[in-house]
Structure 1
Amino acid sequence: MTAYVVIDSDIADDEGFQQYVDQVFPLLEKAGARNVLDEAAPLVLEGDWSWRRLVVHEFESRQAVEEFWNSPAYQPLKELRRRYSTVRVVVGGA
């Protein structure tokens, strides 16, 4: 069953963060994932949700998400991402 990774990101350095983006997209493609949404100004219809940037990736399954997240290839990119941004990441789906 499809799983979605929902990311709320606060990017401190756009140029630095682009290094992460350039490297992570090939890994996402290799993992069979696709980018569904990248929204700089999401519309909040109810509540006090204060998104900075909303990103959604679609994976084949939750297991595929966990394999990607824990893969040796992704670990150095986590550190690169943390250098230039703060994120909150959740997964929904099976």
Structure 2
Amino acid sequence: MPAYVVIDLDVSDPSGFQQYIDGVTPLIEQAGARNLLIDDNAVVLEGDWEPATLVIHEFASKAALQEFWDSPEYQPLKELRRKYSSVKVVAGESPDLPWQDRPQS
């Protein structure tokens, strides 16, 4: 079942951050994932969350996402990302169940 990464991204140095983009894009593709959304003008419909840039990636599964996140190739890119931006990152999986049939927490 697909897993989604939702990122609240605030880039402090666009030219430096481009190094991260250049490195991470092929890794995302190699992981079989894809960018679904990159929006620096997201509309807040309710609440107080106002991401500078909203990013959503889709992976085949949480396992594929975790493998990408923990991969040795991605580790130096995380440091590069942290150098030129700040992020909040969450991930979730989307079971193919009707809403009422999902496990309750």
Q: Which bin holds the TM-score, normalised by the shorter protein?
A: over 0.9
Confirm whether residue 65 of structure 1 aligns to residue 96 of structure 2.
Answer: no
What SS does the corresponding residue of 2:69 show, helix, strand or coil?
helix
For 1:66, the aligned partner's letter is Q
> 1: distance between equivalents of 2:87 and 2:22?
17
For 2:67, the aligned partner's letter is E
Pairing 1:12-91 to 2, within 5 Å after superposition: 12-91=12-91
Aligned equivalent of 1:3: 3
CA RMSD of aligned residues (A): 0.7
> 2: distance between equivalents of 1:82 and 1:48?
24
The offset of 1:31, in angstroms, is 0.3
What SS does the corresponding residue of 2:72 show, helix, strand or coil?
coil
For 1:83, the aligned partner's letter is K
Unaligned runs of 5+ in 1: none
The offset of 1:92, in angstroms, is 1.1
What SS does the corresponding residue of 1:22 show, helix, strand or coil?
helix
The offset of 1:25, in angstroms, is 0.4
Count of aligned pairs between the two proteins: 94
The offset of 1:54, in angstroms, is 0.4
Q: State the identity as a percent.
A: 62
> 2: distance between equivalents of 1:75 and 1:47?
33
TM-score normalised to structure 1 length:
0.98
Greater than 4 Å deviation, 4+ residue runs: none
